[in-house]
A = this chain, B = another copy of it.
Amino acid sequence: TPSDISTALQLGIEHSVGKLSSKHERDVLMQDFQDIDVVFFPRDGSTSTPAHHHADFTFKTYAPIAFRFFRELFGIKPQDFMISMCDKRLKEIRNPGASGSLFFLTNDDRFIIKTVQKKEAQFLQELLPGYYLNFSQNKKTLLPKFFGLYSYSTSSGQRNIRIVVMNNLLPSVYQYQVKFDLKGSTHKRKASKNEREKKCPTLKDLDFKTELPEGFGVDPTIYDSLTRTLERDVRVLRSFKIMDYSLLIGVHKLTEVSRSWSVSEADSRLRSASGGASSIDAVTATARLGRIHAYTTSGEAVMLFIGIIDILQSYRFIKKLEHTYKSILHDGDAVSVTSPGFYSERFVNFCKSSVFTKRIGKKLRYYYL
């Protein structure tokens, strides 16, 4: 069961972070990106692993030194990471996509754990040097923040699970009226009736055009910074032949009252939720990178939570066949699965012309700059 998996993961991660903290801090080298740490957890325990109620399993930590370095860059201390990941039960969350992945959220709302396929895990490892290169140049990046890559496999071979740990784009202390998952494509990009009836539905490109024909109005300075960041991020994705990623937008409505206090209020709730950890400022600072104030077509003030998601399905591995197949069935222009260059251009153009528009108005406090 998912709950079984999550407690086994916690055992593995606790051990991995603990082991790592005994290692001296040092610079990251190129081969750290390829490194894998393997630990066997027999049911009855061993000199270095505790006894447990699962079947014997092997836990692998990919690129431990490199990910420690990434966590540091994002202001996450080893102790805080361990507490977030291991101290309390992980919450399973309903699969937001159609990928068949399991999703867990840490109790303090900071991290998302997602199961990934073998190809995706391999691809993430390949991606790491470029991912580092991008982050070191482009601090405002909206690409997913990866904090760890692990695998859990039973000795019987029955179960083999790989997970990534990522930032939680949509902190649950905020309420979202609606979310958008946008690709810049029109083919099948409409939420199902089922989805639309949810309390906070995830809508798609065609829905967006209907709901917000004029897009989100944002301050011109923010608009320029945001679209520039999107262009830079997408250039990186394109260079890795990645496509089929989405722009995720969580829309939090600012009421007359909340306009003045909701943000700092929610921040302090977030702070207390995570136990007042000292690194919380770094976390909220990171989180704020993906937040902007905007206006809807009808003039409502909203706060948007923005990030690029689903970047691990590499074109090279998965999409080539799919493309060959689909391009026969449909008009290439409308299919979201096509070439990385075409995909990235359409994506950015859609964001620049339809999702966001420049709007000069009352300046609210905004967080994206």
Interface size class of A (residues with CB under 8 A): 10 to 19
Q: Is the CB of A30 within 8 A of B239?
A: yes
Which residue of chain B is the closest to A231 with respect to CB atoms? B26
Whole-angstrom CA separation of A30 from B239 in the bound complex: 8
Contacts of A129 in B (CB 8 A): 30, 129, 133
Q: Is the CB of A138 within 8 A of B27?
A: yes
Chain A contacts with B in 1-43, Cβ cutoff 8 A: 26-31
Pick from B27, B29, B138, B239: contact of A31, CB under 8 Å:
B239
Answer yes or no: A323 CB below 8 A from chain B CBs. Answer: no
Whole-angstrom CA separation of A26 from B233 in the bound complex: 11
Pick from B27, B31, B137, B239: contact of A232, CB under 8 Å:
B27
Contacts of A28 in B (CB 8 A): 133, 137
Answer yes or no: A130 CB below 8 A from chain B CBs. Answer: yes
Q: Is the CB of B239 within 8 A of A133?
A: no
Whole-angstrom CA separation of A129 from B29 in the bound complex: 10
Contacts of A29 in B (CB 8 A): 130, 133, 235-236, 239
Pick from B27, B132, B235, B240: contact of A27, CB under 8 Å:
B235
Which residue of chain B is the closest to A240 with respect to CB atoms? B30
Answer yes or no: A268 CB below 8 A from chain B CBs. Answer: no
A155 CB, nearest partner CB in chain B, Å: 34
Whole-angstrom CA separation of A133 from B65 in the bound complex: 14
Contacts of A235 in B (CB 8 A): 26-27, 29
Pick 5 A–B contacts, CB within 8 A, sort by A: A27-B236, A28-B133, A29-B236, A29-B239, A136-B136
Shortest Cβ-Cβ A-B pairs, 7 listed: A30-B130, A29-B239, A27-B137, A136-B136, A27-B232, A129-B129, A27-B138
Chain A residues in the interface with B (C-beta under 8 A): 26-31, 129-130, 132-134, 136-138, 232, 235-236, 239-240
Contacts A27-B138, A28-B133, A29-B130 known; list 6 others, CB within 8 Å: A26-B232, A29-B235, A29-B239, A30-B129, A31-B239, A136-B136
